[in-house]
Amino acid sequence: MSWLITGGAGYIGAHVVRAMTEAGERAVVYDDLSTGIAGRVPPGVPLEAGSTLDRGRLDEVLAGHGITGVVHLAAKKQVDESVDRPLHYYRENVEGLRVLLEAVTAAGVPSFVFSSSAAVYGMPDVDLVREDTPCAPMSPYGETKLAGEWLVRATGRAAGLSTASLRYFNVAGAASPELADTGVCNLVPMVFERLTGGAAPRVFGDDYPTPDGTCVRDYIHVVDVAEAHVAAARALGTRPGRDLTLNIGRGEGVSVREMIDRITAITGHDRPATVTARRPGDPARVVASADRAAAELGWKARHDVQDMITSAWEGWVRQHPEAARH
Ligand code: WQD
């Protein structure tokens, strides 16, 4: 099959491209390069610049490359920005998806994998979040991902498109230093930035109802997330009429305090953390049940938190060479 990877020049998308090509699938990248980086696309993989809002360009690329499946990652993904700019997020994430699905169904492409998020659950009050746990997103970002899932499923049913929505939990790490995340929007890079800038890492609240009082999350290596896409793409490619919604996590909770302790041990930048106020909207605990993805795809995460932090740190040092000298 020939897969169009939208957002394939982004952090997670570039890992998906790498995993797909390593698995012997043909990949074409479609990216507007607003945050994507052309240099992340490996040699031999075509890079088509374009927006998911541009129907004409999509038609041209889908036909020109004989695309038979789409993995759609192109989206805006900053929760706080989505609160300030909801119209922008709905346009990029929902309208962009709607236009893409129009092009996909018009071209008769049979398979569609959608990048969703644990943000659809909001503040789940359960130990392990299952795919049938009620969704109650807490931000416009999470809303656009849930609305996206609905749009994907409804279109799949109406047009006979085989679909999968993958709900990623907290993604970290890198396959190699040059593919590392360049954003500083999540716990691991935010702690790197504080430590290498000579500041104490911050714990956003230690009075949560968790064992050490700090928030618990399900961190997952980006290489495992990428491999889940390969497994989903293959599951759809071989079985038409599918409609999958899957958590992509490890099923293991790690607290902010534990993460910071591991980060200081791995980086050698040992500075005690400061506890600050809670960040509004943060749930105490969000940990996946990973059973359904295992049953449906035969996929399971292989990498642990140590691998995530070590590989993320190698990427950070590559981007900030002065970080290694301290
Ligand atoms: C993790 C924990 C913070 C920085 C978000 C989105 C989610 C997904 C991943 C999507 C929280 C705490 C953080 C710091 C801290 N995004 N923290 N000190 O909020 O779980 O999930 O990113 O595409 O949808 O909601 O991830 O990495 O921001 O935070 O204490 O300096 O670390 O409060 O408990 P989060 P995160």
What is the domain-level CATH number for residue 116? 3.40.50.720
Do residues 38 and 185 both lie within one domain? no
Do residues 128 and 78 both lie within one domain? yes
Per-residue model confidence (pLDDT) at position 16: 98
Per-residue model confidence (pLDDT) at position 324: 77
CATH number for the domain spanning 276: value is: 3.90.25.10
Distance CA 18, CA 223 (A): 9
Give yes or no for a contact between 20 and 233, defined as CB atoms under 8 angstroms apart. yes
Cβ of 320 closer than 6 Å to ligand 1, yes or no, is no
CA-nearest residue for atom 23, ligand 1, is 77
254-255/216-217 β-pairing: antiparallel
Cβ of 190 closer than 6 Å to ligand 1, yes or no, is yes
Q: How far is the CA of 190 from the centre of ligand 1 (A)?
A: 10
Q: Tell which residue, 42, 36, 35, has the closest CA to residue 81.
A: 35
Please give the residue range of the domain that contains residue 81: 2-171+221-248
Task: Please choose from 256, 275, 278 the residue to mutate so as to test ligand 1's pocket, defined by most ligand atoms within 8 A of CB.
Answer: 256
Query: Which of 198, 229, 248 is a domain's end point?
Result: 248
Cβ of 170 closer than 6 Å to ligand 1, yes or no, is yes
Distance CA 229, CA 20 (A): 8
Do residues 160 and 193 both lie within one domain? no
Per-residue model confidence (pLDDT) at position 289: 98
Helix H, strand E, coil C: the string for the chain is: CEEEEECCCCHHHHHHHHHHHHCCCEEEEEECCCCCCHHHCCCCCCEEECCCCCHHHHHHHHHHCCCCEEEECCCCCCHHHHHHCHHHHHHHHHHHHHHHHHHHHHHCCCEEEEEEEHHHHCCCCCCCECCCCCCCCCCHHHHHHHHHHHHHHHHHHHHCCEEEEEEECEEECCCCHHHCCCCCCCHHHHHHHHHHCCCCCEEECCCCCCCCCCCEECEEEHHHHHHHHHHHHHHHHHCCCCEEEEEECCCCCEEHHHHHHHHHHHHCCCCCCEEECCCCCCCCEECECCHHHHHHHCCCCCCCHHHHHHHHHHHHHHHCHHHHCC
Q: How far is the CA of 49 from the centre of ligand 1 (A)?
A: 30
pLDDT under 50 in the chain at which residues? Answer: none
Cβ of 216 closer than 6 Å to ligand 1, yes or no, is no
Using the atom order of ligand 1, give the atom closest to the CA of residue 186. 27
Domain count, the chain: 2
Do residues 108 and 121 both lie within one domain? yes
Do residues 127 and 15 both lie within one domain? yes
Do residues 239 and 260 both lie within one domain? no
The token duo for 128 is 């392990």
| Residues 32-88 pLDDT 10s | 999 999 999 999 999 999 999 999 999 999 999 999 999 999 999 999 999 999 999
Please identify every residue annotated as catalytic.
141
Per-residue model confidence (pLDDT) at position 326: 53
CA-nearest residue for atom 1, ligand 1, is 187
Cβ of 222 closer than 6 Å to ligand 1, yes or no, is no
Q: How far is the CA of 209 from the centre of ligand 1 (A)?
A: 17
Distance CA 317, CA 314 (A): 5
Do residues 8 and 57 both lie within one domain? yes
pTM: 0.98
Per-residue model confidence (pLDDT) at position 325: 59
Do residues 79 and 128 both lie within one domain? yes
Cβ of 79 closer than 6 Å to ligand 1, yes or no, is yes
